[in-house]
Structure 1
Amino acid sequence: MIGFIGAGSIGGAVITGMVKNGYDAKNIIVKGGHSNRTKLLCDQLGFQMVKKVKQLEETDVIFIAVGANALDSVLKELKEIAADKLIVAFTGGASITHLKQFLGDVKVAHAIPNTPVKVGAGFTGIAYSNNFTDEDKKKIESVLGYTGQVVEVPENQLGILGTVAGCSPAFLDLFIEALSDAGVKHGLNRKLAYDAAIGMAIGASKLAKQSEMNVSALKDEVTSPGGSTIRGVAALEEYGFRNAVIKAVDAAENK
């Protein structure tokens, strides 16, 4: 059995991705908050819902998906039942050291998923405490694998990985919106402009993922001499596109 504490933006997205991609909802128990959000999600997906952390006692793995302001109070409650479980926190400030301060010598991990986990196309970075075995890691990664790609990294790289993979869906949404606006400016109706921009983003990402070529070489394949694409690339360079992306990551990283 898998337990969740919290079913908000990230917790709800992970649960949805798991269930929509084949994980049996009957094997998920969720302790929700004070809002009606967990109940609504429960009605849609069919998992078990409980009111108290101690009711997750029968689970083997517990995912913590609460805000930073609620984390410590949750950890205090969780300590009573955590001894033999694998604990994974999605909360941004939930370092392994911090988790162990509350839970003791328990197997804990810190993970940062991005929102595409909701459709099984997510990217989750995860760092484990030293007492995790390879078998433990396989168990966590098999569960999160329902939501997309899972990559283990040292904890000191988890923040920047989370920024690059976690903040960037918003950056890409802005790019898609801008492309759509440009399409409308030049005569496309709004729906077609959005469909074209979104379809391009999906297709280009899939090609970049599956191709043996790096993205620079893929770009070169499209930019024929004197053509429209290289003129567009030149305009992006003129207006600082790459620098804007790097500065956006810098800003997201600066606490």
Structure 2
Amino acid sequence: MKIGIFGAGHMGSAMIKGWIRSGEIAPPDIFVQGGKRGTAQSLQQDLHFTLSNNMTDFKNTDIIFLAVGTPVILPILTDLYTELAGKVIPIISVSAGVSVKAMQEITGDTYPIAQAIPNTPVQINEGMTGIVYPDNLSEEHKNLMTTSLELLGELVEITEDKIGIFGTLAGCGPAFVDVFMESLADGAVLNGMDRDMAYHVAAKMVSSSANLLLKSKKHPGELKDGVTSPGGTTIKGITALEKEGFRYATINAIDTIMKS
């Protein structure tokens, strides 16, 4: 499979790293066109993908991703569609701000196009990606889109009206967890633990707790109850969190993004 991607910023570079790390896509088979910041050129020195300076190269790919800022998705798509000149190559936008319908106004509603929202763990093939497929997409093109994204982690099909909340939860959530882990480590350091050890323990605890939830399929409240002994240390810590509005702050973070 040959993959073309416009953009090598945070998300574009994470996807490129994930494809290469999967072992299924050879670095030269990833064609990358970066922007003015030069991040693609710098990244290419480490990852050895094919750096492209023109759209003609993308005519030889099997699938194309648009990992650029929302304001330039449609202009790039317009130029790309013109360059393809009737050649049908599936295109996936990974911008939350441009709908499938808006892209189809350029390509027509029969062209294989989709909108996907990955998160940064795709770089280690443990991402969570949501995708909106158009109604009339052929099985062949859908399978190609699915295969390319499943190399990066779990892929779930969602409806267009849910892509906003999916992007907020899956896309912004890692940053919230990072802040949480940093805070946990700070608390441990405050009480004498080495900084590196504190980060390691916090990250492993979060990872294993998440895996327990996924594998046991238990309600998170039930898992929490399994740790909180009557009058014990854990319930005292939870009480302190509740006193500071931990749950409300988390819910409000999601809600604030959705209302912004």
TM-score interval, smaller chain: over 0.9
Once the two structures are TM-superposed, the CA of residue 148 in structure 1 deviates from its matched residue by: 0.8
- Give the letter aligned to residue 94 of structure 2: F
Contact 1:108 1:129 in 2 (8 A): yes
TM-superposition CA deviations, 1:82-107 (whole Å, max 9, x none) = 75111100112120111111222311
Partner of 2:145: 140
Aligned counterparts of 1:5 and 1:90: Cα–Cα separation in 2: 10
Aligned counterparts of 1:26 and 1:203: Cα–Cα separation in 2: 36
3-state SS of paired residue (1:79)? helix
1:87 aligns with 2:91: yes
Once the two structures are TM-superposed, the CA of residue 163 in structure 1 deviates from its matched residue by: 0.4
Aligned counterparts of 2:250 and 2:211: Cα–Cα separation in 1: 21
Aligned counterparts of 1:90 and 1:66: Cα–Cα separation in 2: 8
Contact 1:4 1:63 in 2 (8 A): yes
Task: Spell out the pairing of 1:46-195 with structure 2 (5 A cutoff).
Answer: 46-80=48-82, 81=84, 83-105=87-109, 106-195=111-200
TM-superposition CA deviations, 1:106-148 (whole Å, max 9, x none) = 1111111111111111100110112212332222121111211
2:32 maps to which of 17, 27, 30? 30
Contact 2:127 2:154 in 1 (8 A): yes
Partner of 1:246: 251
Task: Structure 1: state its 5+ residue gaps.
Answer: none
1:205 maps to which of 205, 210, 224? 210
3-state SS of paired residue (1:63)? strand
Aligned counterparts of 1:232 and 1:246: Cα–Cα separation in 2: 19
Aligned counterparts of 2:189 and 2:217: Cα–Cα separation in 1: 35
Once the two structures are TM-superposed, the CA of residue 173 in structure 1 deviates from its matched residue by: 0.8
Once the two structures are TM-superposed, the CA of residue 55 in structure 1 deviates from its matched residue by: 2.0
Contact 1:167 1:252 in 2 (8 A): no
TM-score (norm 2): 0.93
Aligned counterparts of 2:137 and 2:245: Cα–Cα separation in 1: 44
Once the two structures are TM-superposed, the CA of residue 245 in structure 1 deviates from its matched residue by: 0.6
Report which stretch shifted further, 75-84 or 108-117. 75-84
Report which stretch shifted further, 227-236 or 157-166. 227-236
- How many aligned positions are there? 255
1:232 aligns with 2:234: no
Contact 2:73 2:93 in 1 (8 A): no
Report the CA distance shift for 1:188/1:117 in structure 2 as closer, same or farther (over 3 A): same
- Give the letter aligned to residue 7 of structure 1: A
- Give the letter aligned to residue 85 of structure 1: I
Contact 1:54 1:77 in 2 (8 A): no
Aligned counterparts of 1:52 and 1:254: Cα–Cα separation in 2: 38
Moved over 3 A (4+): none
Contact 1:61 1:87 in 2 (8 A): yes
Once the two structures are TM-superposed, the CA of residue 8 in structure 1 deviates from its matched residue by: 1.1
Partner of 1:10: 11
Report which stretch shifted further, 25-34 or 241-250. 25-34
Q: Identical aligned pairs, as a percentage?
A: 38
